Amino acid sequence: MSKGRRGDKPPEFRPGTWLLGTGPDNDIAICTRVRLARNLQGFAFAPCLQEAESTKLYEFVTSRLKQAPLPDKLAVVDLAPVDELERSVLVERHLISRELAASKRPSGVAVDPEESVAVMINEEDHLRVQVFAPGLQPEAAWRHAERLDDALIQRLPIAWSEEFGFLTSCPTNTGTGLRLSVMLHLPGLVWSEEIDKATNTAQKIHLAVRGLYGEGSRALGDFYQVSNQVTLGRDEVTIQNDVLLAVGRLVQWEREVRGALLRGSARVRTMDRVHRALGTLERAQILTSEEALGCLSAVRFGIESELLDGFEIAAVNRALLLSQPGHLQKHTRELLRPEERDQRRAQLLREVLGCAP
C-alpha cells in the first residue's frame, strides 16, 4: 500500500484493510471488524428524525469529525452526490452498509486512507463506527476502535445511561453497542457438508452467522461472518473472549476438515474440484458473480492447500472484489446490463489472474 497516495481517491484495485489477506490465521480468517453503535443526546434516533433535524445532525457531526486531531485521519464522504454505482462500490468495500446505500437521509461516511476505519453517519444509529483489522485480531481491532470512540466521546454528546449503557435505536444493540465480527473463509466445512453443524453450534452460543454482506445476505464464495449477538450485560472484553473462543474452534474445525479433504481418496476429488474451478475461470466466457465467487473460493482453497501454484492470494482477493457488480462496472467505466456484466466479468478475471485471454 503506497503511503504516497494518501488523500487521493482510493484506487479501485486496492483491496482495503478487510481484504489485505494478512494477519493471524489469514488462511481462514479474512478480517476482524468492530462496529460500535453511538447516538447523540438531544436528537431523535435517525429513523425518527425529521428532515431538517436530520440535516442539522449530519452537519453537526461532520463539523465535529473535522476538528483535529482525531486518532485517525478521516475524510468525510458526503453521500448526497454519490450515485448508485459508487454507493455499491462502497458497500462492496464494506465501508457503508446496504441500508445506508439505500437511505435518502442526509448521510455520509468518514474513511481513513487505509480503509481500516469507516464511520457511517445517520445510519440506523447516528454513528456507526467500524474498524477493520486483517486476519483474526479482535483485541487489536477493539483497541483501535476504543481510541477512536474516546475521541468521539470528547467531541460529541453521546447518549448513554448507567443502567443501559450506550442508547441505540434498536434494543438489540443497547449496552456496549459493540458488534464484533470475523469474516471467515470456510470452503472445507462447506465441501464436507459440515457447515450447517458448525453454524448451528455457533448459534447455540449466541453468535450470529451471516453471509459476506451481513444480515440477510447469502454466504457467497464460502465466506461467512460470525459475530456476537448479545450487547447488554456482557462487557467488551467478555464479548471479545466469546467471539475469539468460538471463532478459534471454527478455525480449528475448518483446518481439520481441510486436512481430511486432502488425504486418501478424498484428495483426488478435492483436486478435481479445485482444477475445475480454475478451468472455468481460465476458459469461461460468461460468469455470473455467484459462479465467479464459487470458483475463486475453490482456487483460494487450492492455493492455501498447495494444490495450485503460480497464483498469489492477493490476485484472488483482487479478483473477488472486481467480480462484484459495483467494482466491475466502475472498472469498465460504464453501466452494463447483467448479461454484459457476466461477459466482462469472465474477461476481467482472466486478466487479473494472469490467464490466457
**Which residues in 164-190 are b (16+ Cβ under 10 Å) and which e?**
ebbbbbeeebbbbbbbbbbbbbbbbbb
Nearer to another protein, 46 or 292 (CB): 46
What are the cell numbers at 249?
A: 474452534
Tell me which DSSP letter residue 96 carries. Answer: S
Contacts with another protein in 12-71 (CB under 8 A)?
39, 41, 43-45, 47-48
What are the cell numbers at 216?
A: 440477510
Nearer to another protein, 57 or 79 (CB): 57
Angle at which helices 338-352 and 289-304 pack, to 10 degrees? Answer: 20
Residue from 230, 244, 260, 336 binding another protein (CB under 8 A): 230
Asked if 330 is part of the footprint of another protein (rule: CB under 8 A), the reply reads: no
Q: For the CB of residue 230, give the shortest distance to another protein in the complex, in Å.
A: 5
What are the cell numbers at 289?
A: 458473480
Residue from 153, 205, 314, 335 binding another protein (CB under 8 A): 153
Length of the chain: 357
Angle made by CA atoms 319, 320, 322, in degrees to the nearest 5: 60
Nearer to another protein, 134 or 165 (CB): 165
Nearer to another protein, 49 or 307 (CB): 49
Q: For the CB of residue 60, give the shortest distance to another protein in the complex, in Å.
A: 15
What are the cell numbers at 170?
A: 434498536
Q: In the chain, where do the E strands start and end?
A: 29-38, 75-78, 108-111, 117-121, 127-134, 160-161, 165-166, 178-185, 207-210, 223-228
Of the candidate spans 90-98, 173-181, 262-270, 289-297, the one that interacts with another protein by CB under 8 A turns out to be 173-181
Of the candidate spans 151-159, 296-304, 316-324, 326-334, the one that interacts with another protein by CB under 8 A turns out to be 151-159
Nearer to another protein, 2 or 50 (CB): 50
Angle made by CA atoms 286, 288, 291, in degrees to the nearest 5: 105
What string marks each residue from 238 to 277 as x (binds another protein by CB under 8 A) or -?
Answer: x---------------------------------------
Residue from 8, 162, 306, 309 binding another protein (CB under 8 A): 162
Give CA 221 to chain center in angstroms: 14
Query: Within a 13 Å sphere around the CA of 23, how many CA atoms are in the beta-carbon half?
Result: 25
Nearer to another protein, 14 or 126 (CB): 126
Give CA 95 to chain center in angstroms: 8
Nearer to another protein, 58 or 166 (CB): 166
Map grid coordinates 492470494 to a residue: 313
Residue from 21, 108, 113, 165 binding another protein (CB under 8 A): 165
Residue from 4, 8, 69, 161 binding another protein (CB under 8 A): 161
The amino acid that residue 326 corresponds to is G
Residue from 13, 66, 78, 164 binding another protein (CB under 8 A): 164
Q: Is 50 helix (H, G, I), strand (E, B) or coil?
A: coil
Report how many residues bind another protein under the rule CB under 8 A. 36
Nearer to another protein, 1 or 170 (CB): 170
Residue from 107, 176, 199, 280 binding another protein (CB under 8 A): 176
Query: Within a 13 Å sphere around the CA of 291, how many CA atoms are in the beta-carbon half?
Result: 17
Residue from 72, 115, 236, 242 binding another protein (CB under 8 A): 236
Residue from 158, 184, 308, 346 binding another protein (CB under 8 A): 158
Residue from 51, 63, 67, 171 binding another protein (CB under 8 A): 171
Q: Report the alpha-carbon distance of residue 12 to residue 29 in Å, rounded.
A: 23
Residue from 338, 136, 139 nearest 252 by CA: 136
| Interacting residues with another protein (CB under 8 A) | 39, 41, 43-45, 47-48, 146, 153, 158-172, 174-176, 178, 230-236, 238
